[in-house]
């Protein structure tokens, strides 16, 4: 078959790109190697920046988010046994974030795509990308024992860190930047009311903890743990006990425990691939960059990549203009590195590092104390947390 854009990956970035192209009447197809149930079964973050929520509204899938999402106007930082609130709303001139699970974003986009009658191939095997160094690339895959080929003008690689898109780029054409952190996050999802109506980030001598939520009745909690830990060695009781040890007295009183729905350990890394365009192939989202989840930037960065890419493709097909696709990588990376910096800094500030010792703990506490008492420092945290404008730094 022939189409204008072949999108590899049916996660939120691929589906959102498809929705934006559909709105502009640009022909495209989505190709995904996993099943829909597998895609929806991925447990991911749930803090959406204003830019991301605006995009979901733009493509007409914001109704359930408005009804079920939880607007947050602040976050709490816990250190030395006390909590301190960062007023996101007040410090940024009225901005906020929306707590709404990535799984729900994916479900909304998936349902909309079905309602629109748009093509998506799930369970595609042996996906391969060809001739994207020219103007006539193609994508090949097997489905139900039959080989298929999609001829297109552009390929959008939205298939994640382990996907085929970045792996298809010749090694000499890409530069990779990576930092691996010496710990992971042990996360538990449970049907219990959240500890607080806002997220609580905890810096303690026992390590980092995060009290998050998906709804008023479902909570997501994390504790920092060694990379050598195994999920099967953490019972629910052991997790709740350790989380309680990292909270303040009020938090311990308010903590409601219950059986875990899902439990996993995620390693933390910072990663960027440069550039993000290779002829007719564009990388977007986790295919091009990874951030530690401390700053809640992963899905939001993917959404802004997609915004830049959709705008560039629409200009190309509707106006025969190539400026957008020519500057796509540069524009994305300028924003990505700012988010990478914030996520790295926030991770450094809140976690216990094996080689930092008591001195490192005292320095973190001093910086946190400065942060909450300095209007300028608090404002910097707030504006980065809610997300920088799409045109930030543009002259």
Alpha-carbon distances of 137 from 6, 52, 195, rounded to whole Å: 9, 30, 51
pLDDT at 395 over 60: no
| Cα–Cα dist 14/99, whole Å | 21
**pTM score, whole prediction:** 0.93
| Rounded mean pLDDT, 300-312 | 96
What residue ranges define each of the domains in the chain, with the CATH number in brackets? 5-177+268-386 (3.50.50.60)
Strands 75-79 and 200-203: parallel
| Half-sphere exposure in the Cβ direction for 211 (13 Å, CA) | 31
Cβ neighbours of 145 (radius 10 Å): 6
- At residue 46, the pLDDT reads 83
- At residue 394, the pLDDT reads 64
Write out pLDDT tens, residues 316-370.
999 999 999 999 999 999 999 999 999 999 999 999 999 888 999 999 999 999 9
Residue-by-residue DSSP string for 117-181: T--EE-S-EEEEEE-TTSS--EEEEEETTEEEEEE-SEEEE-S-TTSHHHHTS-GGG-EEEEEEE
Mean pLDDT (the chain, rounded): 95
Q: What six digits make up the tokens of 11?
A: 């996660």
- At residue 252, the pLDDT reads 96
Write out pLDDT tens, residues 7-65.
999 999 999 999 999 999 999 999 999 999 999 887 677 899 988 999 999 999 999 99
Quick one: pLDDT band at residue 390, thresholds 50, 70, 90? confident
| Rounded mean pLDDT, 244-262 | 96
The candidate with the shortest Cα–Cα distance to 132, out of 28, 9, 281, 316, is 281
- At residue 171, the pLDDT reads 87
Write out pLDDT tens, residues 198-240.
999 999 999 999 999 988 999 999 999 999 999 999 999 999 9
Write out pLDDT tens, residues 264-279.
999 999 999 999 999 9
Active-site residue numbers? Answer: 72, 201, 293, 297, 385
- At residue 309, the pLDDT reads 98
> CA torsion 337→340→341→344, rounded to 10°?
-160
Quick one: pLDDT band at residue 393, thresholds 50, 70, 90? low
**Which strands sit side by side in the sheet containing 47-48, from one edge to the other?**
47-48, 97-99, 70-72
Sign of the dihedral through C-alpha 318, 322, 327, 332:
positive
């Amino acid at each position: 078959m022939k189409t204008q854009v072949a999108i590899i990956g049916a996660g939120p970035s691929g589906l959102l790109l498809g929705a934006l192209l559909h709105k502009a009447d640009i022909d495209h197809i989505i190709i995904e190697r996993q099943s829909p149930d597998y895609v929806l079964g991925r447990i991911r973050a749930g803090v959406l920046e204003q830019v991301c929520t605006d995009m979901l509204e733009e493509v007409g899938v914001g109704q359930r988010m408005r009804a079920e999402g939880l607007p947050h106007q602040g976050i709490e930082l816990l250190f030395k046994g006390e909590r301190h609130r960062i007023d996101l709303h007040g410090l940024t001139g009225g901005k906020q974030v929306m707590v709404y699970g990535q799984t729900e974003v994916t479900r909304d986009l998936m349902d909309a795509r079905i309602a629109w009658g748009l093509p998506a191939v799930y369970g595609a095997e042996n996906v391969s990308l060809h001739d994207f160094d020219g103007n006539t690339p193609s994508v090949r895959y097997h489905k139900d024992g039959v080989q298929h080929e999609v001829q297109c003008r552009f390929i959008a690689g939205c298939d994640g860190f382990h996907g085929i898109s970045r792996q298809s780029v010749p090694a000499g054409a890409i530069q990779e930047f990576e930092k691996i952190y010496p710990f992971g996050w042990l996360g538990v999802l449970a049907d219990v009311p959240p500890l607080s109506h806002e997220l609580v980030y905890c810096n303690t001598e026992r390590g980092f903890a995060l009290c998050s939520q998906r709804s008023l009745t479902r909570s997501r909690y994390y504790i920092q743990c060694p990379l050598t830990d195994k999920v099967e060695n953490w019972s629910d009781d052991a997790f709740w006990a350790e989380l309680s040890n990292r909270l303040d007295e009020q938090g311990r009183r308010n903590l409601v425990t219950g059986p875990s729905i899902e439990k996993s350990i995620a390693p933390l890394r910072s990663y960027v691939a440069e550039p993000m365009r290779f002829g007719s192939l564009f990388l977007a989202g986790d295919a091009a960059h990874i951030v530690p989840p401390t700053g809640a930037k992963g899905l939001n960065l993917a959404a802004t990549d997609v915004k830049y890419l959709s705008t560039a493709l629409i200009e190309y097909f509707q106006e025969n203009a190539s400026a957008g696709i020519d500057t796509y990588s540069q524009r994305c990376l300028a924003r990505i590195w700012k988010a990478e910096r914030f996520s790295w800094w926030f991770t450094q500030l809140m976690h216990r590092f094996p080689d930092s010792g008591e001195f490192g703990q005292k320095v973190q506490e001093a910086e946190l104390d400065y942060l909450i008492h300095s209007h300028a420092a608090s404002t910097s945290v707030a504006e980065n947390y809610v997300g920088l404008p799409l045109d930030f730094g543009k002259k």
